[in-house]
Amino acid sequence: MRGDLGRGRAVVVGGSLTGLLCARILGDHFGDVLLVERDRFPSGAESRKGVPQGRHVHVLLKQGERLIAHYFPGICDDLVRRGASRVDMADDTRWLHFGDWKARFPSGMTMLSQSRPLLESAVRERVAAIGRVRLRDGCDVDGLRVEDGRLRGVRLVGPESGAEDIAADLLVDAGGRGSRMPRWLADRGATPPRETEVRVDVGYASRFYRRPATPPGDWLGLMIYPKPPGTRLGVLFPVEDGRWLVTLVGWFGDHPGGSDAEFLEFARTLDAPELHAAIRDAEPVSPVALHKFPSNRRRHYEELPHLPDGLAVVGDAFCSFNPIYGQGMTSGALGARTLDTCLRAGAGPGWSHRFHRALADVIASPWLLATTEDFRSPAAQGTRPRWTPIVNWYTERVHRLTWSDPFVARRFLEVMHLTTPPRALVHPYIVGRALGLPLHPREAI
């Protein structure tokens, strides 16, 4: 595989945020980058069929925002000009978690709040302006050409263009949960990756509301999570065009319905009345959109030492997380950065294996955070690590400390936003407080 600037061709499958970020990065390494997307791209910030979850609340965690800002300087200010809001996750948000409200204080952990279509359209505009990158919608990859253990080309198919074989030095699969890479490998007699699943049977319903002229409270966003083993949560965040986006979620088959009455009734049954009170008399400006998500799923490509060189699987095609934790877009951005790092390190034999091992290390933290929380419920289906009970015992005490302790609450936000590894939650002060010791943060440093 050639990765020298100005040489070779890279192909990206999938035009959502992860694929677009990968195309941007590949423009620094290859002379020709082709991104193919089976959908037709909308002309602006509109939802499309291939991203049904795009009509629901999407949290861009702080780490994801930093990466996008790094690869697209100025894009955050542009999003704000287009109507995105900056929301401090502690100061501007009321968050009910584990039975009480988290501490309110200026945390500095701000995030951009906008619809996913607006974010993707802003990124897509910038990628389309890169001279080395071509976006080709209404097209798909339908097979690989591998010779001597290396990718040599791909087959493109489209309803209008038919089939076309092109040479390629690198294929990045950002095709989401529906990735066909396991099938392509099996078709060539290669071993597809082992999969790990934690089934959660999540269903969610969302709709847009017009933001009222008079705010209903001293907050910009609301997050009402259930106390385990509860199954219902709701979130409300501001988005562009003077709207709220409200998403209601149910675990383990306890799903919200799609009618006006069902939506409001589900909101009424949350563990706190604030969200229902906010939308009860608000003006809806969209129908209710429904979506279901069966499981956290991780494909272990890092375990395939003989994977053909020139293949890279990223985003949900590699690891898909329960969406209630908001890790998907940021984990995709981390995968794109890992691609950049591995290409800069050199593209010799064994590159694909090294890349997937590096990516497995990167997604280990978000996978741990998501699945450990899901395993609080006995209804979650999957292999529970032996240490799960003790981790859940400890983190429940951490969650309770976030109700009143700004130091712990900020550390929790840093871990949640993937700017700090989970081990930050075993800071001596936090451990002492979790064990009931009367400490001050300075005393434990």
pLDDT, tens only, 242-252 = 999 999 999 99
Residue 89 sits in the same domain as residue 161? no
Residue 209 sits in the same domain as residue 278? yes
Residues facing residue 170 across a β-bridge: 10
175-179 contacts, C-beta under 8 A, 24 or more apart: 175/13, 175/14, 175/19, 175/317, 176/14, 176/16, 176/315, 176/316, 176/317, 176/320, 177/297, 177/316, 177/317, 177/320, 179/13, 179/299, 179/313, 179/316, 179/317
Confidence of residue 44 (pLDDT cuts 50, 70, 90): confident
Residues facing residue 207 across a β-bridge: 246
Q: How far apart are the C-alpha atoms of 54 and 204, rounded to whole Å?
A: 12
Residue 88's domain is classified under what CATH number? Answer: 3.30.9.10
Q: How far apart are the C-alpha atoms of 256 and 248, rounded to whole Å?
A: 7
Mean predicted confidence (pLDDT) in 102-127 = 97
Residue 106 sits in the same domain as residue 253? yes
Confidence of residue 48 (pLDDT cuts 50, 70, 90): confident
Residue 190 sits in the same domain as residue 223? no
Is 71 inside a domain boundary? no
Residues facing residue 284 across a β-bridge: 209
Say yes or no to pLDDT of 214 above 70.
Answer: yes
Residue 160's domain is classified under what CATH number? Answer: 3.50.50.60
Query: 32: Cβ–Cβ under 8 A, 6 or more apart, which residues?
Result: 8, 9, 10, 132, 134
Domain endpoint, select from 231, 257, 289? 289
Report the run of H or E that residue 210 belongs to, with start and end: strand 195-210
Mean predicted confidence (pLDDT) in 216-234 = 95
Length of the chain: 445
What Å distances lie between residue 175 and 97, 172, 319, 390, CA to CA? Answer: 33, 9, 11, 36
Is 167 inside a domain boundary? yes
Is 295 inside a domain boundary? no
Q: Is 200:252 a contact under the CB 8 Å cutoff?
A: yes
Tokens of 189: 């007699």
Query: 372: Cβ–Cβ under 8 A, 6 or more apart, which residues?
Result: 388, 391, 392, 395
Question: Can you tell me whether residue 20 is helix, strand or coil?
Answer: helix
Q: How far apart are the C-alpha atoms of 327 and 29, rounded to whole Å?
A: 27
Q: How far apart are the C-alpha atoms of 332 and 63, rounded to whole Å?
A: 11
Say yes or no to pLDDT of 8 above 80.
Answer: yes
Is 63 inside a domain boundary? no
Q: Which of 234, 196, 205 is nearest to 320 (CA)?
A: 196
CA torsion angle for 111, 114, 115, 121 (degrees, to 10)?
-100
Count CB neighbours of 5 within 10 A. 12
Q: Which domain holds residue 398?
A: 388-444
Output the pLDDT for position 45: 85
Q: Which of 145, 179, 144, 140 is nearest to 163 (CA)?
A: 140
Output the pLDDT for position 401: 97
Say yes or no to pLDDT of 426 above 90.
Answer: yes
Output the pLDDT for position 445: 43
- Picking from 35-44, 399-408, 412-421, 432-441, which range would have the lowest pLDDT averaged per residue? 432-441
Count CB neighbours of 4 within 10 A. 12
Mean predicted confidence (pLDDT) in 396-414 = 97
Domain endpoint, select from 239, 267, 289? 289
Say yes or no to pLDDT of 423 above 50.
Answer: yes
Residue 274 sits in the same domain as residue 393? no
Confidence of residue 3 (pLDDT cuts 50, 70, 90): very low
Share of the chain above pLDDT 90, in %: 89
Q: How far apart are the C-alpha atoms of 281 and 283, rounded to whole Å?
A: 7
Question: Can you tell me whether residue 47 is helix, strand or coil?
Answer: coil
Q: How far apart are the C-alpha atoms of 125 and 54, rounded to whole Å?
A: 18
Mean predicted confidence (pLDDT) in 320-332 = 95
Residue 255 sits in the same domain as residue 281? yes
- What are the residue ranges of helices labelled H in 221-377? 260-268, 274-280, 328-344, 351-374
Mean predicted confidence (pLDDT) in 329-336 = 97
Mean predicted confidence (pLDDT) in 23-28 = 98
Residue 125 sits in the same domain as residue 45? yes
Residue 102 sits in the same domain as residue 216? yes
Residues facing residue 206 across a β-bridge: 247, 289
Average model confidence (pLDDT) for the chain? 94
Tokens of 326: 């908001």
Tokens of 5: 């600037």
Q: Is 414:420 a contact under the CB 8 Å cutoff?
A: yes
Share of the chain above pLDDT 70, in %: 96
Confidence of residue 286 (pLDDT cuts 50, 70, 90): very high
Say yes or no to pLDDT of 5 above 50.
Answer: no
Say yes or no to pLDDT of 302 above 50.
Answer: yes
Q: Which of 424, 383, 397 is nearest to 197 (CA)?
A: 383
- Picking from 36-40, 211-215, 434-438, which range would have the lowest pLDDT averaged per residue? 434-438
Residue 154 sits in the same domain as residue 175? yes
Mean predicted confidence (pLDDT) in 71-98 = 97
Residue 252 sits in the same domain as residue 365? no
Q: How far apart are the C-alpha atoms of 127 and 135, rounded to whole Å?
A: 8
Is 187 inside a domain boundary? yes
Residue 218 sits in the same domain as residue 251? yes
Residues facing residue 77 across a β-bridge: none
Is 70 inside a domain boundary? no
Is 380 inside a domain boundary? no
Tell me how many domains the chain contains: 3
Mean predicted confidence (pLDDT) in 227-256 = 96
Is 77 inside a domain boundary? no
- Write the single-letter amino acid at 354: R
Confidence of residue 53 (pLDDT cuts 50, 70, 90): confident
Residue 132 sits in the same domain as residue 175? yes
Count CB neighbours of 284 within 10 A. 17
pLDDT in tens, 123-152: 999 999 999 999 999 999 999 999 999 999
Mean predicted confidence (pLDDT) in 255-267 = 98
Question: Can you tell me whether residue 134 is helix, strand or coil?
Answer: strand
* Angle 290-58-140 from CA coordinates, rounded to 5°: 75
Count CB neighbours of 404 within 10 A. 12
Please state whether the predicted TM-score (pTM) of the whole model is above 0.85.
yes
What Å distances lie between residue 345 and 4, 20, 44, 356, CA to CA? Answer: 11, 22, 36, 14
pLDDT in tens, 148-194: 999 999 999 987 767 899 999 999 999 999 999 999 999 988 889 99
Domain endpoint, select from 230, 261, 289? 289
Confidence of residue 348 (pLDDT cuts 50, 70, 90): confident
